[in-house]
Chains A and B, each alone.
Chain A
Amino acid sequence: MGGGRGASVNAEVQYEPVIGLEIHVQLKTRTKMFCGCELSFGDPPNTHTCPRCLGLAGTLPVVNAQAVHYGIMIGLALGSQIAPRSQFHRKNYFYPDLPKGYQISQYDVPLCSGGQLGEVRIHRVHLEEDAAKLVHLGASGRIHGAQRSAVDFNRGGTPLAEIVTEPDLRSAEAAREWLSLLRTTLRAIGVSDVNMEEGSLRCDANVSVRPVGSSELGTKTELKNMNSFRFLAQGIRAEVERQSELLRAGQPVLQETLHFDPSSGRLTPLRSKEEAHDYRYFPEPDLVPLEATPEMIEAARAQLPELPSARAQRFAGALGLPAERARDLAFRSELADFFEAALAATPNGEPVALANWMQTLVERLEDGADPAGSLVSPAAFAQLVAMVSEKAISREAGREVLDMLVAQGGDPAAIVEREGLGAISADDGGLGDVVAAALASDPDAAEQVRAGNMKAMGPLVGYVMRETKGRADGAEINRLIRQQLGI
């Protein structure tokens, strides 16, 4: 009942967002949740249907054991309690994409309860079936005002896990980051494609705001249709702003469901609390309670790989990476996998250097691209990093070689050889002469350095770098300047 508190007008109050997420994940089983039809994406409409998933009279659901297995894996990965006996319920409402007139879902006894991922507590995880897909012909693109609507039942009955968080998120950015962690975790355990664009990962947000320092919850709204990470953050930001403005103006926030329009970035009301469905949940009499035996739970646990959060801890602990770098890698398992492959390819691999160079590599790839799909092999990448560490090439030359690897692939040593990028050192005489020339070209700077003003070192190092086209190592130049100046 926080909405009424907006009655006093106070433009000075700072509001804090309180955000919880409801995530639907399509499970990557071979067949649907309650029938034997194979899952498909992009196949011709209504080619993966049967009497059951079309809701024909007389048909009965049969629970997909693999979906239960995946559900338990999700629960274990999120630290949830697995219910020894959970119950399916019918959620009743009429819509053409819902052939039985009810969705089989879980209600008061979900498969998984509680848990935590990162800083966010998990409320519950339950299993249910997806609706079919509606295609509306006409300008609106929505059912109202459509000239015709068609139903594709291929998607109908796809197993879904619904994951509900506690309202522990405090900003749009945090929500986006946490969803990314969840996606990584689910991808790592292999239960879903978790692709927002294809709809295998969908996220609704429950958003309210409250004065900073308050511990009460304000009136929440539910945001739907934010089908990308960017839209999720955009939608939440817009809603936090809208609610804060309402309260500052002394207006109450109404409990309602809002539809996010990606093209305008605006939120429009879908239905109010008064119009909300009464789903009339009751236990699904066509199914017996779902028993998760200790054997089933152990089988799921045995299939869990190392989870991203545990991997980040290992990277930071055993490998000594800075915490943030460790998370950056571990929370994108494709980066972590590449990193670990590179580390394994070098006998004396230096994890911190490799991790730093991973950052450079990521910057050179397309946004979000998997390095395993690039022309750079983990072994070539490791070799490049080793050459820099061993000062066989300079850091700057290393960046050039990496660019060439990204563009064409190949062997870093061969590229260095071909391009003449090998480091010049004092030993082969050349670098000492260049340093001497640098000191001669700028006596002022040389004098200042000698007098202890190390800022004057810059122009001298720059001269050497220009002359050697970046092949010289910065630290080595530094050492030679001091040596020749006798300091």
Chain B
Amino acid sequence: MSQHLLELSAAQAVAAIRAGELDAAELFELYRSRAAADPLNAFTWVAEDAAVAAPAGAPLAGVPAAVKDLFCTEGVPSQSGSRILEGYRPPYTATVVAKLAKAGAPLLAKTNQDEFAMGSSNENSAYGPVLNPWDRARVPGGSSGGSAAAVAAGLAPWALGTDTGGSIRQPAAFCGIVGLKPTYGACSRYGMIAFASSLDQAGPLTRDVTDAALLLRHMVGRDQNDSTSLELPEEIRLPSRGDLKGVRLGVPQELTGTAGGIDPGVLASFEAALAQAQALGASVEPCTLPHAPHALSAYYIIAPAEASANLARFDGVRYGLRVAGDSDLDTMYSRTRAQGFGAEVKRRIMLGTYALSSGYYDAYYGTAQRVRTRISQDFQSAFAEVDFIVTPTAPTTAFELGAKSHDPLAMYLNDVCTVPMSLAGIPAISIPCGLSDGLPVGLQLAGPAFSENALLDAAYALEQALAFDGRSAWAGGGAPA
């Protein structure tokens, strides 16, 4: 019975519950018990009790969601993967989580993540690394690694993540699932423990494109608590497109060549998927994003700069960890932050503080903002010629635990294909497009701002043609072999 339930996608489970063929409580308990076993260290908290029944007629029918730890959830630990927030239970719930609960997707669990969403492997969590269900010796990607691993392993029907420079798309690619970063402003950031405010966006991590559309539909919308949030021009629709006739796909040379560090196996899988797209009627043409090669440099100025301020509030005065100094304020600050933050977080706070320093501001932060503007303009020019940009989501497949954790620059290069879209604030989706040496490869589709419906439709058509089967990862979510 439970194997049968596991076969249902989240959207299928919603339909079954609404049709009276499935009991929401039974589904919740199936996933709750699978999550509680947590063979991948994907969770930092799992519900102990049955969920409060979803309101009658609620569109998501009680199919529960796993939520990245950095979303504040009232009374439930929300630690953003950091020691400095160990045991912190906020007095309020993030807008997106509250919206999902209202729509009938209750909280199943909180998922492990890189500390303050800083990382591409989930090895930066203060609560231990998450394992990839395809190969437990490998990382699940990051920073939403717990969410990606949980969905891929069948430990959660669907999950929420956040994406700052690729933190939804890259782990989705590494785990063989779908991950969508919406247009900046589409989802409220209220209650998301911030990494880089001008880049952070919530989004779904799901088994398929239809699930992503359904979950996103209930996440988006203007929120008066977030001045940067926006109303989408139209409701998110469930995708139905069967072909790609007339769709122009642009392949940016800057992000797709082996010279750019793309692994040959990944490239082969990507090119096979492009051939499928052409078979569906799409045209595939080269395009150019001239400033994309500078995107990582700009990103690693802007994101740490914002983070250096966003993380200043963790000072030991009001909540979270406090390591008392000898009745001396500065000592208390430095001891608290020295013990509370991990190495990568400290590195980025220092980078950001330096970049904003008097005398360096214009050379670093100012230049980075100018590059960011150029990158946005590059995309605008490209979208005058093509409907979507396609790239591999990440240059490699999931790498082994520890392989890059002592080489920050190598780690940062994981985001080379995803960071430009984050800087431009445009939506992008990663779908699994095949395997390379038995590990999933992700394909990224990016469209203009607010093109989510068209993007989901195109991704759906391609998904149907590619017919990727991720079920072999469910075994990875079972008891350790």
Contacts and interface: CB of A to CB of B under 8 A. Distances in A.
A361 to B, nearest CB: 51
Given A92-B356, A101-B312, A62 B225 contact: yes
B329 A143 contact: yes
A61 B313 contact: no
B3 interface: no
Given A55-B318, A99-B318, A62 B306 contact: no
B313 A100 contact: yes
B72 interface: yes
B197 A56 contact: no
Interface in A43-65: 51, 54-63
Nearest to B328: A144
Interface in B81-130: 85, 88, 90-92, 94
Given A58-B190, A151-B317, A102 B312 contact: yes
Contacts of A280: 308-309, 353, 356-358, 361
A282 B365 contact: yes
Interface residues of A, number: 29
A273 to B, nearest CB: 12
B329 A278 contact: no
Interface residues of B, number: 45
A218 B358 CA distance: 24
Given A57-B72, A57-B88, A58-B94, A96 B329 contact: yes
Contacts of A288: 227-228
A57 B318 contact: no
B276 interface: no
Contacts of B198: 285
A288 B313 CA distance: 21
B318 A282 contact: no
Contact of A101 (B228, B306, B315, B358): B315
Contacts of B399: none
A278 B309 contact: no
A90 interface: yes
Interface string B311-323: 1111101110000
A288 B226 CA distance: 10
B333 to A, nearest CB: 6
Contact of B228 (A51, A90, A282, A286): A286
Contacts of A58: 70-72, 78, 90, 94, 190-194
Interface in B336-368: 353, 356-358, 361, 365
Interface in A245-282: 278, 280-282
A11 interface: no
Most central of A57, A59, A90, A94 by chain B CB within 10 Å: A57
Contact of B309 (A56, A57, A96, A101): A101
Please report whether the interface of chain B is mostly helix, strand, loop or mixed according to DSSP: loop
Contacts of B170: none
Contacts of A63: 227
A24 B309 CA distance: 24
Please report whether the interface of chain A is mostly helix, strand, loop or mixed according to DSSP: loop
A287 B361 CA distance: 20
Interface in A404-454: none
B77 to A, nearest CB: 12
B305 interface: yes
B353 to A, nearest CB: 7
A60 B189 contact: yes
Contacts of B365: 282
Contacts of B194: 57-58, 286
B99 to A, nearest CB: 15
A56 B356 contact: no
Contacts of B356: 92, 280-282
B391 interface: no
Interface of A: 51, 54-63, 90, 92, 94, 96, 99-102, 143, 151, 278, 280-282, 285-288
Interface of B: 70-72, 78, 80, 85, 88, 90-92, 94, 189-194, 196-198, 224-228, 305-306, 308-309, 311-315, 317-319, 329, 333, 353, 356-358, 361, 365
13 contacts: A55-B313, A55-B318, A56-B72, A58-B94, A58-B190, A59-B190, A60-B189, A60-B227, A62-B227, A94-B312, A94-B315, A151-B318, A286-B189
Closest 8 pairs (CB-CB, A-B): A101-B312, A285-B197, A280-B356, A285-B198, A57-B193, A58-B191, A58-B72, A55-B313
